[in-house]
Chains A and B, each alone.
Chain A
Amino acid sequence: AQSVTQLDSQVPVFEEAPVELRCNYSSSVSVYLFWYVQYPNQGLQLLLKYLSGSTLVKGINGFEAEFNKSQTSFHLRKPSVHISDTAEYFCAVSESNDMRFGAGTRLTVKP
């Protein structure tokens, strides 16, 4: 069965610094991978997704993620963060009909 592990529950970072949020997955078949963002008191919004093809995926708000099949990872990166990036980020994996989410990483951007 598919599962996702987000390696950091909280990541504090200063404004304009780079950030990486780590995600590892397990699955017995080909998977589709996603990153979602949740701002306070809101639902989840899709940041980016990997379905096939290029292993480097670009998303909204300057985020990108790299699919690494040998390491079963899908880490999210941004070269320079803003205060407005403060939110909770969820990695997710889908094999077929449903999607399983990690526990989330709270990114806090400090001035």
Chain B
Amino acid sequence: NAGVTQTPKFQVLKTGQSMTLQCAQDMNHNSMYWYRQDPGMGLRLIYYSASEGTTDKGEVPNGYNVSRLNKREFSLRLESAAPSQTSVYFCASSSGPGFYGYTFGSGTRLTVV
């Protein structure tokens, strides 16, 4: 199915470990986004990439890095995981600025112990 694919779907990390969450879209979208979802807080923007070759910080960038590898792929890296980063992470893409609406992946459930 066309859309946004996230890997892995589940992950358990120990405090201090690193990992990269992968996201790929096959809709030829220009913009890509990483959000985290926590109970009672909705979705909060971590980083976004308005176009290939650019990235910008969102509301909660601390502790994360991103790479826009090409037009299709946008990865999120946790260099030294902390329990506060336990969350569900969603990748989304859009053909243009926010008002185009987003297509979301199915999420990565990350637990840091």
A residues bordering B, Cβ < 8 Å? 4, 6, 9, 32, 34, 36, 41-46, 49, 51, 90, 94-104
Contacts and interface: CB of A to CB of B under 8 A. Distances in A.
Contact of A101 (B31, B43, B99, B106): B43
Contacts of B92: 44
Interface of B: 4, 31, 33, 35, 40-45, 48, 50, 56, 58-59, 90, 92, 97-99, 101-102, 104-107
7 contacts: A4-B42, A32-B98, A36-B104, A42-B107, A96-B98, A101-B42, A103-B41
Given A41-B107, A97-B31, 15 more contacts: A6-B42, A32-B98, A32-B99, A43-B90, A43-B106, A44-B92, A44-B102, A90-B42, A98-B58, A99-B45, A100-B45, A101-B35, A101-B43, A104-B40, A104-B42
Nearest to B33: A98
A102 B105 contact: no
B42 A98 contact: no
A20 B72 CA distance: 38
A69 B110 CA distance: 39
A43 B43 CA distance: 11
A42 B97 CA distance: 24
Contacts of A36: 104
Contacts of B45: 98-100
Contacts of B40: 9, 103-104
A97 B98 contact: yes
A64 to B, nearest CB: 17
B56 A99 contact: no
Which one of B33, B90, B101, B104 has the highest number of Cβ atoms from chain A below 10 Å of its Cβ? B101
Contacts of A90: 42-43
A37 to B, nearest CB: 11
B42 A45 contact: no
